[in-house]
Amino acid sequence: MGVIDCLSAGFRYLGWRLELIVIPVALDLLLWLAPQFTIVPMTSEVAGWYRTLGAADGLPVDAVTMTQQVA
């Protein structure tokens, strides 16, 4: 069975069982229409934490350099 035959058989099967299409279509619509979330606030908090960690007294020089490079 070739690729085209497999795809045709799958689409024929989905034509008989339309409820199998509902979940992927609903998920696509949810991801497309729902509010967009970003990780920018979380990463800025982590960067700020690294900056305060680098400003602490008693850290080795290589640890301070690492925190400056990361933040």
Tens-place pLDDT, residues 2-40? 999 999 998 898 888 888 889 999 999 999 998 888 888
Q: What are phi and psi of 28, to 5 degrees?
A: -60, -45
Residues 64 and 44 in one domain: yes
**pTM for the whole structure:** 0.40
Residues 47 and 28 in one domain: no
* Angle between helical axes of 40-54 and 61-70 (0-180°, round to 10): 160
Task: Give pLDDT, residue 28.
Answer: 94
Q: Total domain count for the chain?
A: 2
Q: Give me the domain span that covers residue 21.
A: 3-33
